[in-house]
Amino acid sequence: MSYQNQAWLDQAIEPVLDPEQRICDPHHHLWDHPTHRYLLDEWLKDITDGHRVEHTVFVECASMYRARGPEDLRSVGEVEFVNGVAAMSASGQYGLPRVASAIVSFANLLSPDIGQVLDAHASASHRFRGIRHASAWHASDAIRNAHSVPFEGMMASQPFRRGFKVLVDRGWSFDAWLYHEQIDELTNLAQAFPEANIVLDHFGGPLGIGPYAGQRKTVFDHWRSSIARLAACENVKVKLGGLVMPVNGFGLHKQPKPPSSETLVELTRDYYLTAIDYFGVDRCMFESNFPVDRQSCSYRTLWNAFKKLVQDFSEQDKDQLFYQTAMTTYRIED
Give pLDDT tens digits for 93-144.
Answer: 998 899 999 999 999 999 999 999 999 999 999 999 999 999 999 999 999 9
Domain harbouring 20, CATH code: 3.20.20.140
Give the pLDDT band (50/70/90) at residue 1: very low
Cβ pair 158, 109 in contact under 8 A: no
Which tens digit of pLDDT belongs to each residue from 232-290?
Answer: 999 999 999 999 999 999 999 999 999 999 999 999 999 999 999 999 999 999 999 99
Across the chain, the runs of DSSP E, i.e. the strands, are 22-28, 31-32, 37-38, 52-59, 98-105, 128-132, 173-176, 198-200, 236-240, 284-286
pTM to 2 decimal places: 0.96
265 occurs within a structural domain: yes
Torsional class of 232: left (φ above 0), alpha (ψ -120 to 50), beta (otherwise)? alpha
Domain containing residue 113: 2-329
- Three state DSSP letters for 59-103: ECCCCCCCCCCCHHHCCHHHHHHHHHHHHHHHCCCCCCCEEEEEE
Alpha-carbon distances of 285 from 198, 199, 220, rounded to whole Å: 13, 10, 20
CA distance 27 to 13: 23
Residue 104 lies in a domain: yes
pLDDT band at 167 (very low <50, low <70, confident <90, very high): very high
- What was the pLDDT predicted at 96? 87
Residue 51 is assigned to a structural domain of this protein:
yes
Task: Look over the chain and give the mean of its residue pLDDT values, rounded to a whole number.
Answer: 96
117 assigned to some structural domain: yes
Instruction: Tell whether 334 is covered by a domain.
Output: no
Percent of the chain residues past pLDDT 90, beyond the cut: 96
The reply to whether 223 falls in a domain is yes
- Confidence tier at 3 by pLDDT (50, 70, 90): low
Number of domains comprising the chain: 1
Residue 66 in contact with residue 74, Cβ under 8 Å?
A: yes
Handedness of CA 298, 304, 310, 316 (dihedral sign): positive
